[in-house]
């Protein structure tokens, strides 16, 4: 099974319900798409992520009603440095989609999804803890896994594997 090359052409992927719905709502929301290894990735503008998620959750055709996961990738030293990644699952349609928000290192902040899915709470705290991404509007943005007084964010690429001590 050879790997098919990734499709990144927005025109070719317009047929995907999630992409179509987002474009219909606000064309500026979608800043890029990628279809690779049978997985759909949509790059979303950082200002619109909360509305985009609420839209995809409530839309009858997409029905991405389940937030599987939130995580982050650090592309240090490239800019924009961070990619916050949201994995959505549609329980009725049995489909997945991945939303990505790119954040630069100057202001790694994005709107919190806790008002859309309360379950985003721990995931966002974890990302805050390990990457230092701030989620505005989060009810309790404290460290989750590391001790309260820990310095630095361990999963950043400029944080040594052995730690600072």
Partner 1 sequence: MILNMGPQHPSTHGVLRVLLEIDGETVVRIMPDIGFLHTGIEKTCEAKFYQQVVPLTDRIDYLCPMTNNLCYVLAVEKLLGLEIPPKAQWMRVLMNELTRINSHLVWLGTHAMDIGALTVFLYCFREREEVLKMFEMISGQRMMTSYFRVGGLALEPPLGFFERVGEFAGYFAEKIDEYENLLTGNPIWMMRTKGVARLTAEDAIALGASGPTLRGSGVDIDLRRDMPYSGYENFNFKVPVAQEGDVFARYMCRVRELRESNEIVKQALDGMPEGPIKADAPGVVLPDREKMKTQMEALIYHFKIITEGFAVPAGEVYQAVESPRGEMGYYIVSDGTAKPYRVHMRAACLANLQTLPKMCEGGLIADVVAAIGSIDIVLGEIDR
Closest to partner 1 by CB, 47 vs 146, is: 146
Quick check: 36 binds partner 1 (CB under 8 A)? yes
Q: How far apart are CA 86 and CA 121, in angstroms?
A: 13
Q: How far apart are CA 98 and CA 41, in angstroms?
A: 5
CA neighbor of 139 nearest in space, from 110, 109, 114, 107: 114
Quick check: 25 binds partner 1 (CB under 8 A)? no
Q: Residue 102 has what DSSP assignment?
A: E
Out of 24, 39, 104, 158, which residue is the one contacting partner 1 (CB under 8 A)?
39
Quick check: 123 binds partner 1 (CB under 8 A)? yes
Quick check: 105 binds partner 1 (CB under 8 A)? no
Out of 8, 51, 80, 119, which residue is the one contacting partner 1 (CB under 8 A)?
119
**Please, are residues 86 and 72 in contact by the beta-carbon 8 Å criterion?**
no
Q: How far apart are CA 165 and CA 47, in angstroms?
A: 38
Q: How far apart are CA 142 and CA 132, in angstroms?
A: 11
**Please, are residues 45 and 28 in contact by the beta-carbon 8 Å criterion?**
yes
Quick check: 87 binds partner 1 (CB under 8 A)? yes
Out of 28, 61, 79, 118, which residue is the one contacting partner 1 (CB under 8 A)?
118
Quick check: 78 binds partner 1 (CB under 8 A)? no
Q: What does the binding site for partner 1 look like in residue numbers (CB under 8 A)?
A: 1-3, 6, 36-37, 39, 41, 65-69, 71, 73-74, 85, 87, 89, 91, 94, 96, 98, 117-123, 126, 130, 143-147, 154-155, 159, 161
């Amino acid at each position: 099974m050879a790997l098919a090359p990734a499709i990144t052409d927005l025109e070719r992927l317009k047929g995907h319900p999630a992409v179509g719905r987002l474009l219909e709502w606000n064309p500026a929301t979608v800043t890029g798409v990628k279809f690779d290894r049978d997985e759909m990735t949509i790059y979303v503008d950082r200002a619109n992520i909360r509305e985009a998620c609420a839209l995809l959750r409530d839309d009858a055709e997409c029905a991405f009603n389940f937030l599987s996961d939130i995580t982050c990738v650090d592309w240090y030293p490239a800019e924009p440095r961070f990619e916050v990644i949201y994995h959505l699952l549609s329980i009725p349609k049995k489909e997945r989609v991945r939303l990505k928000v790119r954040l630069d290192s100057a202001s790694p902040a994005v709107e919190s999804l806790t008002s859309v899915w309360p379950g985003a709470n721990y995931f966002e705290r974890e990302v805050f803890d390990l990457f230092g991404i701030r989620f505005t509007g989060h009810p309790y943005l404290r460290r989750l896994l590391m001790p309260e007084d820990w310095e630095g964010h361990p999963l950043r690429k400029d944080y040594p594997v052995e730690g600072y001590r």
